[in-house]
Structure 1
Amino acid sequence: MTSAAVPDHPWLLPGALSRGAAVARRTPRDWFVDVLCFLLALGWAVLAWRDSVRPEPDFALNAGPAWLNEVDFLLSLLLCAALWFRRRWPVGLALVSLPLAFFSVSSAAALMIILFTVTVHRPLPVAASMIGLSLLTVPVYARLRPDPTLPLWQNLAWTAVFTFAVLAWGMFVRARRQLVASLRERAERAEAEQQLRLAQARQLERTRIAREMHDVLAHRISLLSLHAGALEFRPDAPPAEVAKAAGVIRASAHAALQDLREVIGVLRAEPAAADSGAPERPQPTLADVPALIDESRAAGVRVGLAERVTAAATLPAGVGRSAYRIVQEGLTNARKHAPGAVVQVRLDGRPGDGLTVEIRNPWPAGASAATTLPGAGTGLVGIAERVTLAGGRLEHGRDATGSFRLAAWLPWPA
């Protein structure tokens, strides 16, 4: 692990700074910790200086020359003041202050606080190198300021134990804060992923509703066009037939507008409104296919139905809805592209074998552009997507007999 591999993070120590980042604002906790560290370092410096200037020999431990004690105390005061910048330049401050370890007694506490800060803020190799440099100063310090109460080896041992304790404590704090930051990052990522899943679910639901409305509106508008065309080509029709056709047109237009209003309302709804739990209107099933065919027959389309479905009551609702939409799209395409042709609808299936839906009509011959209804050309694309999502198969196109055939197989579990 290198210092480049583990970037600094402000969360490693409250109020800490990343290299090259702007100064972080101190929090109340930062102020408390900084004041406490400053007071501890200053208190130790004052006590060490007082003991060094006492006349009693028992208290004049590691005293050294008088001028050295004065210089030591002044430098320790400067180092205590520098502790306020320890989060911003921990390594630089450690390098500048390490020479004091050769002779200083008063700055010992401040030096340990700086080494602790380096361990918390910087990767282990950097912290270990600073600790190693500080240990190299111990023999020189023991020669300049020998302790009359302890042998040299004990003095070195106790200094090493205390220094490594500071290193271990700093590593523990660093690891704990990295763990907390990692857990916080995971929680934020999980929340963001949950929001993304919710947004995707809303988008998928809106797409599904839009696809349903496309099928419904295309069916109703094609019926409208068919009835309007009948009125246009038979202006001399009896008043009763005209009134009946006008009534069908009015009812179909009203239903189409209602469907359009619903889909626009859903697509414009805010997420909170979309998730309000309002019940949807009942969705069509396989049992509604005869009514759909009767509606086309009332519009003048010749439709034949061959239904050989066993145990239709056990058909899953999703499969039945897909079958209904396939028949609806097939009838709509027949009215658009083969007006006046006979349409054959076949439903066949049983549990375990699947459900087959087939719509067949003669290929249009010489149909004028004026009789062809406009369309977006995405109906079969939507049906193919619906069948694929259901795990089925779809075939469409001109067959060997010259007829247009739209056939789908949908899975039906036993």
Structure 2
Amino acid sequence: MTRIARPTWKQYGRWALVVLLTFVAVQNTASATGGRYLTMPAAAAVLCGAALLAPRLPWPVAPALATVAAAAWGWPLLPLLLVAMFELAAHRRAPVAVGCALVALVANVFTDPVTALWTPQQYGATLFLMVAVVGGLWLGSRRRLVESLNSQVEHLRVERKLREQAARAAERSRIAAEMHDVLAHRLSLIALHTGVLTTKADTLPPPIAERLALLRTAATEALADLRDVLGALHDTETGSAPRDPVLREVDELVEQSRVAGQHVQIDATGRPEEAPAAHRLAVYRIVQEGLSNARKHARGAQVTIRVCYQPPTTTVEITNTAGAPAPGVVDSGFGLVGLRERVTALGGDLVAGPTGAGSWRLFSTIPHPADLAQNGWST
């Protein structure tokens, strides 16, 4: 079922203006004919007003009627012709509007009505017609400019939304690739140790030897499955998966930043081994993003990092004082989007924003899995 659009306030205003001008035209024709209302000029005024208000008439009808009426009976019908010409100019039909004005002025000379367009002042009607055309051109240009700006704003909004979605998808792919490396390392250790034990199967009971062989086969197949899954995450342009180093310690990242000239202070509570591997990866990425943002937007600022790996939550806080922005830096603005996607996937929260006096704070909490938090051990 099609929905009928409700009229806007501009449409209501146009209708009121046309009705008012039609009433004025009828009054003027009555004054020019000795107070009689049932005359041809009055009927022409009503017909022109109805044509201007009719929504589904072909567009040339109303201007043609107004032009003929003004040419035949002069200035009482001029207001309705001005409305028609204004709308023609606003809809990029200025040549048609100028043609209507010329036809009305020239024809009015030959019809020579009592209230001719040339009667009040010799060039008065011409001036009004020119103002109507110019006003219509200005309004149409402004309307198209506003529509173009609205279209650009909508396009930018959609583009930003798509970029945010792409950033989230890229972060999820990066998480999956990193966890592949972690799991592959541990599965390879299982396969290695079970392989060593199977070489001594002669000294083991047959059921245990059989279980070890099954365990080694399962670990090998799991490694193959992980490689297949990672293949789906390959970059279609480069043909290779991201090979960022995994389970790197935050201290290495801080030391690199200090060598680059940043003033960084770190305070770590607990050991990284107390947190799950996914948490350690998230902490590394958060610290990396925080230091990168400080280099871009607060050059020379003091950066303070606080990390806690102990259950029940892994927390990381990065604050920096005010500083000068680095020259020529173009920030995509989607680094925090990817971080938030990563932290949310782990069930945590991430907050970023100013804290006053030009400083900036990046804070995240990631809860440990329930069974790990209760037993006090990690993967």
TM-score by length of 2: 0.50
Is the CA contact (8 Å cut-off) linking 2:51 and 2:57 kept in structure 1?
Answer: no
Hey, what does 1:231 align to over in structure 2? 197
State whether structure 2 residue 25 is matched by structure 1 residue 53: no
Note closer, same or farther for the CA distance 1:40–1:145 as it changes in structure 2 (3 Å cut): farther
State whether structure 2 residue 72 is matched by structure 1 residue 103: yes
For residue 145 of structure 1, report the CA deviation from its aligned partner.
Answer: 3.5
SS, match of residue 60 in structure 2: helix
Hey, what does 1:114 align to over in structure 2? 84
Matches within 5 A, 1:8-157: 25-54=5-34, 70-85=39-54, 89-105=58-74, 106-121=76-91, 123=92, 126-145=93-112, 155-157=121-123
State whether structure 2 residue 138 is matched by structure 1 residue 172: yes
Matching residue's letter, 1:285:
R
Note closer, same or farther for the CA distance 1:37–1:177 as it changes in structure 2 (3 Å cut): same
- Once residues 313 and 39 of structure 1 are traced to their aligned partners in structure 2, the CA distance between those partners, rounded to angstroms, is 76
Note closer, same or farther for the CA distance 1:24–1:182 as it changes in structure 2 (3 Å cut): farther
Is the CA contact (8 Å cut-off) linking 1:131 and 1:167 kept in structure 2?
Answer: yes
For residue 163 of structure 1, report the CA deviation from its aligned partner.
Answer: 0.5
Note closer, same or farther for the CA distance 1:110–1:147 as it changes in structure 2 (3 Å cut): same
Hey, what does 2:248 align to over in structure 1? 285
For residue 316 of structure 1, report the CA deviation from its aligned partner.
Answer: 6.3
Is the CA contact (8 Å cut-off) linking 1:115 and 1:130 kept in structure 2?
Answer: yes
- Once residues 77 and 148 of structure 1 are traced to their aligned partners in structure 2, the CA distance between those partners, rounded to angstroms, is 18
The answer for unaligned runs of 5 or more in structure 2 is 234-244, 259-379
For residue 167 of structure 1, report the CA deviation from its aligned partner.
Answer: 0.8
- Once residues 91 and 155 of structure 1 are traced to their aligned partners in structure 2, the CA distance between those partners, rounded to angstroms, is 29
SS, match of residue 201 in structure 2: coil
Q: How many residues align?
A: 231
Note closer, same or farther for the CA distance 1:30–1:113 as it changes in structure 2 (3 Å cut): same
Larger Rg: 1
Is the CA contact (8 Å cut-off) linking 1:138 and 1:156 kept in structure 2?
Answer: no
Matches within 5 A, 1:11-410: 25-54=5-34, 70-85=39-54, 89-105=58-74, 106-121=76-91, 123=92, 126-145=93-112, 155-237=121-203, 284-285=247-248, 314-315=255-256
Matching residue's letter, 2:82:
M
Q: Supply the RMSD in Å over aligned alpha carbons.
A: 4.4
SS, match of residue 89 in structure 1: coil
Identity %: 27
For residue 156 of structure 1, report the CA deviation from its aligned partner.
Answer: 4.6
- Once residues 155 and 204 of structure 2 are traced to their aligned partners in structure 1, the CA distance between those partners, rounded to angstroms, is 70
Deviations 1:180-201 (A, max 9, x none): 1111111111111111111111
Hey, what does 2:336 align to over in structure 1? none
- Once residues 161 and 26 of structure 1 are traced to their aligned partners in structure 2, the CA distance between those partners, rounded to angstroms, is 36
Matching residue's letter, 2:45:
S
